[in-house]
Structure 1
Amino acid sequence: MTYDTMAALADIGTKPGTTKRDALTIARRVVRIACEHRDRIAAERGALRRKARKLRQFLPFTAQQVADLEAMAREYQAEQLEGTGQVLRAFGFLLLRDPDDIAGDLGFEQLADLLSINPAHREKARQEGGETLHGLLLLARAEESATDHGQGWGQGGPLYRACQAAVIDFIQTCPADQLPDPFAPGAPFGPPPPPELRIV
């Protein structure tokens, strides 16, 4: 599937009569195509880098070939990679903010069906992520819960990857003085807050 397919799906998703259920289904399909395209580019870049590594053992005779292969790996479909990255970030920001309140309108069960959350995992997903899109996608990582995407960095369902791309973009572009301090007391990497003392 190509950029034209993604654009056609995005146009369908923005039509006035599109329901929120359909809009989320279309968004999921567009993001899945973008993720597959990025994975394909990454695999082909990886193959070029592996060839360069094999040729390194014959240095200095293969120095030019190694440099050429590494340059090809860096530049291979760079525009398409950036384009799919923009698609992921745009959908990620929309999913995190949920300005149309898709989660509220659909309700947890219908949302869980659309995100392919296994019925056996739904209660755990509700506890970890609540009943919001960003909670279920980013916090609980519950999308396609029956599929073992792994717990590694960047591994997860397509909508999780879109949310992650948006968060990474926010961290990279947000002014440093506006980001919270992760090492502050009570923050994830900071010391625990002092206990709350009460007279009983």
Structure 2
Amino acid sequence: MLIVTPVTPVTPTKTNFEFEIMNQNIVKALAGIMEKPGTTKRDTLAISRRVTRYICQQRRHLLTERHALRRKARKLRQYLPFTALAVADLEQQASDHNAELLEAYRRVLAAYGRSIIHDEEGIAAALGFDQLAALLNINPVHHEQAKREGGETLQGLVFVARMEDSASGFADEWGAGGPLFEACMAGLADFIRTCPDHLLPDPFAPGEVFGPKLPPQLRMV
């Protein structure tokens, strides 16, 4: 006879909770620094990387906990219909587990992603390629490839060429990238989700993010 034990929700220990609160306070302090008028473009990009890295790490941790609950549910499915209630309970727990926090993380990442894609503050132009490469942790051996595939823009280096933390080998895995890349993906997904269909641009059109590059414009001087 199969004995189904009650399912208990995942809860953080006191130590983990206190550590989480401390990290969140650090993130808030860093975000507050970005709002100050004297913050340099270099500091803005460095803080963006640190904040998005923290959020990406926390998202992965919460999603791993959700996946663990779903794995338990899948194992119990082989004993249906006797485990139907336990399976339903686990699946509901997985869906509800820190849902509000995950949604908050998604919104913050999307906001950072939009700022990187549009670069309205002119960070790339102000810093130049060498400083961008240093701040994005682009390995010197990848500099030529980064320029060739991403140019000298934040959007190109982070989102198109995926050169952030280039020594990590993100470019070898489709859809993977550094924390700013994940933020750009969140920003793009949010744009696609909220934009009316008839206004969506074609990202694969010439001159667009994933499209072929347009030839340089020649001007008579």
TM-score past 0.5 threshold: yes
Look up the SS of the partner of 2:116 in the other structure. Answer: helix
Large movers: runs of 4+ above 4 Å = 181-189
Superposition map of 1:44-123 within 5 A? 44-123=65-144
SS in 2 for 1:4: helix
2:174 pairs with 149, 152, 159, which one?
Answer: 152
Identity over aligned residues, as a percent? 55
- Whether the 8 Å contact between 1:45 and 1:74 is mirrored in structure 2 is yes
Over 3 Å counting, the alpha-carbon distance change for 1:169 and 1:76 in structure 2 is same
State the Cα distance separating 1:13 from its structure 2 match.
1.6
Cα drift, residue 49 of structure 1 = 0.3
CA contact (8 A) 2:49 2:179 kept: yes
- Structure 2 runs not aligned, ≥5 long: 1-19, 211-221
> Alpha carbon RMSD of aligned pairs, Å?
2.2
- 1:109-148 matches, within 5 Å, as 109-148=130-169
Structure 1 residue 17: Cα displacement: 1.6
Q: CA–CA distance in 2 between the matches of 1:121 and 1:11?
A: 33
Measure the CA separation in 2 of the matches of 1:120 and 1:102.
Answer: 23
Q: Partner residue of 2:191?
A: 170
Moved more, 5-14 or 51-60: 5-14
**C-alpha distance 70-167 of structure 1, shift in aligned 2 (>3 A):** same
Corresponding residue to 1:7 among 17, 20, 28: 28
Give the Å deviation of 1:148.
2.3
Q: Match of 2:49?
A: 28
Provide Cα deviations, 1:164-200, integer angstroms capped at 9, x if missing partner: 11011111111101123579899999xxxxxxxxxxx
**CA distance in 2: counterparts of 1:188 and 1:44, whole angstroms:** 34
Question: Aligned to 2:61, which of 21, 29, 40?
Answer: 40
Partner SS state of residue 107, structure 1: helix
Contact 1:14/1:23 (8 A) holds in 2: no
- Distance (Å, rounded) in 1 between the aligned partners of 2:100 and 2:208: 38
5+ long unaligned stretches in structure 1: 190-200
- Is the partner of 1:146 in helix, strand or coil? helix
1:65-87 deviation per Cα after TM superposition (whole angstroms, max 9, x unaligned): 00000000001000110011111
Report the equivalent of 1:198: none
Match of 1:180 among 165, 184, 201: 201
